[in-house]
A and B are shown apart, each in its own frame.
Chain A
Amino acid sequence: MNEKLTLLEKDGERIFTVEHHPQESKPERAYIFVHPFAEEKLWSHRVYVSTARAFCDKGVFVARFDFRGHGDSDGEFLDSSLEGHISDLNSVIDHVKSICPSATTIGLLGLRLGGTIAVITAESRDDIDELILWDPVLSGDRYMQEILRSNLAAQMAVKGKVEITRDDLIEQMKSGQPINIEGYYLRYPYFEELSSIDLVKLDYPDRMRCCLLQIVRNPKQPFNKQYQAYIEKFSGNSIIDKAHEEQFWKEIKTFYNKADNLVNRSLEWLE
C-alpha cells in the first residue's frame, strides 16, 4: 500500500486529497470517501483513514479529500455551499478516473451528510456504480434542525440558558449574520441548501447499487423505516443492514479509531 498527498487545483484554490494506492498495479475498483459536516468530519477522521486502509488491503483504490473550507483544503467554511461540495467531489472523481484508469467500477462512500452529498453527486453523473452509505442524512431539513440544536446546547453550556431560540437563529441568518455551530460559522444560503435536501425524492438509475448501513448502538434496535423505504428505490443487489457501532462522529468516551462492523459489512457487500 502506498499513500500519497495531492493538492488538486480548482478555481484557483486547492483541494487536499489523500490517495491510497493498493499493491495491485491495476485496481479494478476505486472508491472516493466523502466526509461528513463540520466537526463530525474531525471526530470520524480516523475511522475514515482506517477504513481506507482496509479497502486498500482488499485491492481497492481509495481517495479521501477535504471539501474546500474544510480540513486542509483552501477556502473558508463560511463560504461553503452544497453546489461547491458537489463541484469538489466531481473534481476528485475525475482526478481518480485519470490516475486510476484500470478501475471499471467507481464507488462513493459517505457517513451522515457525506453520504447525502455522495448520493446527490452520483445521481448527477453516469459513471458512479456503487454507493456505500453509513447512516446517511435523508432529510436535510431534519438534519439542520439537529445542527441548530447544537447551538442551543452551546448557549446552555456558556450562559446557563437559551437566549436565542431556534427561530431567532434562522432569522439571524436570514438577516445576513452567520450563526456559530461548534466554532464553524454557517450562513443562510448554505443552511437553506442543505435543509432542502430530500433524497427520497430523487430517482436512481438501474446501474447504481447501494449498501445502506444503519449504525445502531444496540443490535436489537429496529430498522429505521425511512431507510427501509429508501433502499427500495435502488435496483437489485442493493441492501440495507445494521452495524453495531458507537456514534463516533461526535465526542464519546471511547477512542474510536476504527469501525470494524461497518467496514467488514461494507467489504462483504463489495465481494
Chain B
Amino acid sequence: MQTTPVIFENRDGYKLFGVLEKPDTVESSVTVLLLSPGIKMRVGPHRLYNKLSKKLVDLGVNVFRFDFYGLGDSEGDIDESVLVNVYNSIQDGRFVNDTVDAIDWLEKEQAQSQFILGGLCGGAITGLLTGCDDDRVTGLLALGLINVFEGGEDNFSKFVTEGHLSSLKEGYIKKLTDFDSWKRLLSFKSDYRLILKILVKPFRKIVNSIKKSVEKDDTSVLTIPKELEGSNVNPKFAPAFFKMLTTSKKMLLIFSGADRLLWEFEEKFESHYTKKLKPYTSQYEVITIPQANHILGLKEWEDEMHAHVENWMKQYYPLKS
C-alpha cells in the first residue's frame, strides 16, 4: 500500500491534513473518502478507519482519510464548547463544504473521477448530505448512519425509540431485585418519565399499530411526517436519502445491533416511508451486526463489517483487470 501524507486547502483557506492510501499494483480512479466520525480524527475509534482503509485498498480502490477544519491536525477552530452542539452542527452539514473541497482536490491533483463517501456516525451523515448533491459521488458506505439530532441527557426520555425502550426494559427488570435501585427510585433520582414510558409501552404499541393501519403513505419526502413533528429527527435526512436513491446512487448501511441508531433509523425514517422506499430496495442494503456496539469494538464485529463491505464493493465497484 502506498501512503502519502497530504495537506490541502479548503475554500476558507484552512489547511486540512490527511492521508491518501493507494494499492501498490493497480491504478484506480475510484476513491473512498472515509470521513471523520464526530470529533475524532481521520483514524477513527480504535483505528477503525486505518483497518477499513487497508481492506478497501486490497480491493483495488484508493482511500483518502482527512481531518475536517478544527479537528485532528487540521487548521481552524470549532467555537462550540458543548460536545452535543458540535455533534448537532455536524449532523446539520457543518463539514459538507470540506468534503466537497476534498473531492475537488482529489479530482484535480490525483485525477480521480468517481467517489464513494464513507464513515461512521457523523462521518456517515456528512457523506449522505454531500453525496446527494454531488454528481461525482456514486455511493455511500455508512456505518451507524444517524438521522436525528442529539437531544442530550435531559431530553432522553422524550426522544427515546421503542427499540431502545425494549433494550432498557430488561435492565429495569433486573433492577427489581436490586436494593440500591429501589433506594435510587425512592430518593427521586430515577428518570420517572422514562420508567413511565416503558410501563405504557404495550398500550402505545397497540395505538400505533391501529394508527399505522389507517395511515396512507402520502408523506412528502421534503417535509417531516406529521407524527414526527416535535421529534429530534433531522429534517435534512429524508430529502438527502431520497435524492441519493432518485439519482441511482448505491448505499450500504451497516448498523450495530446494540446501537440506538438502528432503532432511530427504523422508527424515525424507514417505517414512515415504506411505500416510497419500495421501488428503490435494490439500491440500498441495510445490514445489522447483532450485539455490536456503536464503534464496532470487537474484532468479530469489525470482521463482519469488512465482509459486508467487501461484498458490496465487489458487486458495485469490481476490480478492473
Q: Could you tell me which A residues sit within 8 Å of B by CB distance?
A: 3, 5-7, 14, 16, 18, 38-39, 42, 45-46, 49, 70-72, 77, 154, 157-158, 160, 180, 182-185, 252-255, 257
Q: Which residues of A contact B83 (CB under 8 A)?
A: 252-255
CB distance from B156 to the nearest CB of A (A): 14
Q: Which stretch from B68-76, B236-244, B269-277 is at the chain A interface?
A: B68-76
Is B226 part of the binding interface, using a Cβ–Cβ cutoff of 8 Å?
A: no
**Would A184 and B46 count as touching, CB distance under 8 A?**
yes
B3 at the interface (CB under 8 A from A): yes
Residues of B within 8 A of A183 (CB): 45-46, 48, 295-298
Which of chain A's residues have a CB closer than 8 A to the CB of B41?
42, 45
Complexed CA–CA distance, A154 and B46 (Å): 14
Interface residues in B2-45 (C-beta closer than 8 Å to A): 3, 5-7, 15, 17, 19, 39-43, 45
User: Would you call B297 and A182 a contact (CB within 8 A)?
Assistant: yes
- Tell me, in angstroms, the Cα distance from A255 to B295 when the chains sit together: 19
Q: How far is the CB of A46 from chain B (nearest CB, A)?
A: 7
Minimum CB–CB distance for A175 against chain B, Å = 17
> Hey, which chain B residues are within 8 Å of A5, CB to CB?
5-7, 17, 73
Q: A180 to chain B: which residues have CB within 8 Å?
A: 297-299
Contact between chains at A160 and B297 (CB < 8 Å): no
Q: How far is the CA of A183 from the CA of B81 in the complex (A)?
A: 27
Task: Give complex CA distance A160, B48 in Å.
Answer: 25
B47 sits at the interface (CB 8 A): yes
| Shortest CB distance B152–A (Å) | 9
Shortest Cβ distance from A48 into B: residue: B73
Nearest-CB residue, chain A, relative to B301: A183
In contact, B72 and A45 (Cβ under 8 angstroms): yes
> B97 on the interface (CB 8 Å rule)?
no
Name the distance in Å between B234's Cβ and chain A's nearest Cβ. Answer: 20
Q: Which residue, of B48, B73, B81, has the highest number of chain A Cβ atoms within 10 A? A: B73
Q: Are B78 and A257 in contact (CB under 8 A)?
A: yes
With A39-B46, A257-B77 known to touch, is A154 a contact of B297 (CB < 8 Å)? Answer: yes
Q: How far is the CB of A190 from chain B (nearest CB, A)?
A: 15
**Proximity bits, B48-59, A CB within 8 Å = 1, else 0:** 101000000000
Given A42-B43, A183-B295, do A257 and B70 touch, yes or no (CB 8 Å)?
yes
- Asked if B86 is at the interface of the complex by the 8 Å CB criterion, the answer is yes
Given contacts A5-B17, A18-B73, contact A253 B84 (CB under 8 A): yes
Asked whether, in the complex, the Cβ of A158 is within 8 Å of the Cβ of B80, the reply is: no
Complex interface: chain A residues within 8 A of B40 (CB): 42
- Please name the residue on chain B nearest to A38 by beta carbon: B46
Given the known interface contacts A42-B43, A254-B81, A257-B78, the answer about A6 and B72 at a Cβ–Cβ threshold of 8 Å is no
Q: Which residue of A lies closest to B71 (CB)?
A: A46
Bound CA span A46–B17, Å: 13
Residue from A45, A71, A182, A185 in contact with B299 in the complex, judged by beta carbons closer than 8 Å: A185
**Residue ranges of B at the interface with A (Cβ–Cβ < 8 Å):** 3, 5-7, 15, 17, 19, 39-43, 45-48, 50, 70-73, 77-78, 80-86, 170-171, 174, 258, 291, 293, 295-299
A257 to B41, CA, bound (A): 12
The 4 A-B pairs of least Cβ separation, nearest first, read A183-B46, A5-B5, A183-B297, A255-B83
Residues of B within 8 A of A42 (CB): 40-41, 43, 45
Q: How many angstroms from the CA of A46 to the CA of B80 in the assembled complex?
A: 14
Residue from the set B6, B174, B298 with the largest chain A CB neighbour count within 10 Å: B298
Identify 4 new A-B residue pairs, CB closer than 8 A, beyond the known A18-B73, A253-B84. A5-B73, A45-B41, A157-B293, A252-B83
Q: How far is the CA of A51 from the CA of B50 in the complex (A)?
A: 25
Chain A residue at smallest Cβ distance from B296: A183
Q: Given the complex of chains A and B, what is the CA–CA distance between A6 and B6 in angstroms?
A: 10
Q: Would you call A16 and B5 a contact (CB within 8 A)?
A: yes
CA distance A44 to B258 in the complex (A): 27
**B171 near A160: Cβ-Cβ < 8 Å:** yes
Chain A residues lying within 8 Å of B81, measured Cβ to Cβ, are 254-255
Q: Given that A183-B296, A253-B84 are known contacts, is A71 also in contact with B43, CB under 8 Å in the complex?
A: yes
Q: How far is the CA of A45 from the CA of B43 in the complex (A)?
A: 11
Q: How far is the CB of A43 from the nearest CB of chain B, in Å?
A: 8
Residues of B within 8 A of A18 (CB): 17, 73
Is there contact, CB below 8 Å, between B297 and A255? Answer: no
Question: Can you list 25 A-B contacts (CB < 8 A)?
Answer: A3-B15, A3-B17, A3-B73, A5-B5, A5-B6, A5-B73, A7-B5, A18-B73, A39-B46, A42-B40, A42-B41, A42-B43, A49-B73, A71-B47, A72-B3, A72-B19, A77-B46, A158-B293, A160-B174, A180-B298, A183-B296, A255-B80, A255-B81, A255-B83, A257-B77
Contacts of A255 in B (CB 8 A): 39, 78, 80-83, 85-86
Residue of B nearest to A42 (CB): B40
Complex: how many Å from CA A117 to CA B274? 56
Complex: how many Å from CA A160 to CA B204?
Answer: 26
Does B45 lie within 8 Å of A182, measured CB to CB? yes
Q: A2 to B133, alpha carbons, bound, how many Å?
A: 35
Chain A residues near B291 (CB, 8 Å)?
158
A158 and B78 in contact, given A3-B7, A5-B7, A253-B84 (Cβ under 8 angstroms): no
CB distance from A29 to the nearest CB of B (A): 22
Instruction: Across the interface, name the chain A residue whose C-beta is closest to B17.
Output: A5
Instruction: Report the nearest A residue to B77, measured CB to CB.
Output: A257
A160 to B86: give the CA distance in the assembly, Å: 30
Chain A proximity of B171: nearest CB distance (Å): 6
| With A46-B72, A182-B297, A255-B39: A72-B50 Cβ-Cβ less than 8 Å | yes
